[in-house]
Amino acid sequence: MTKLNPQDPHSLEVVTIDRVVDAMATFDVTLDKIEGRDDSATANLNGLPCLFAVLDSVVIVRADVQTDAAYSQADAGLFLAANQINSVALGARAVITDFDDQLVVRTERDISIAAGMTDQQLQAALQAAVDGVLGAQNAMVAAAEEMAKLGSAAAAEATEGN
């Protein structure tokens, strides 16, 4: 275990990627550390690629799902769906970004970490974060489908009105 002050036997433990890996193992989830990095690991959870990264004061849990939509021809529906997700408390936030001109649906949650966080606290926080990130991805699918229906209905009304 890594401590704030290794010479002090009463020093508080810090959260490291190793502790995150161990905590996720209690849920029978194997995280694969990213080669050459000592702060991040990945896993496939429910078919979604998830990243776990430990920064100075937070652990980030993130799922990125690439869409078939080109960023240069982006439909507002995904952006509206992300706004809908972010307007309610789902345990994670959603953003639309791009990678190689393809839209990516990203859901993410930060876990505040402080020295002295127990293994049980870390496990509970990770479980809530993973549930939030996966739930937000599912909600994005539903919200995007609803936005597409609304867009189709609006287009049909506009066509009928002409």
**Angle separating helix axes 17-25 and 119-161, nearest 10 degrees:** 80
- Regions in the chain scoring below 70 on pLDDT: 1, 3-7, 10-11, 148, 150-162
Looking at the structure, give the CATH architecture of the domain made up of residues 17-154. Answer: 2-Layer Sandwich (3.30)
Provide the pLDDT for residue 75: 75
**Residues 6 or more apart in contact with residue 57 via CB below 8 angstroms:** 112, 113, 114
Which H or E run includes 129?
A: helix 119-161
What is the predicted pLDDT for the residue at 110?
96
pLDDT in tens, 83-106: 988 998 778 999 999 888 888 999
Domain segments of the chain as ranges = 17-154
Helix (H, G, I), strand (E, B) or coil at 19: helix
Q: What pLDDT was estimated at residue 156? A: 62
Contact in structure between 84 and 145 (CB atoms under 8 Å): no
pLDDT value of position 111: 96
Neighbours of 157 (CB within 10 A): 10
User: Alpha helices, DSSP H only, in 1-118?
Assistant: 17-25, 76-86
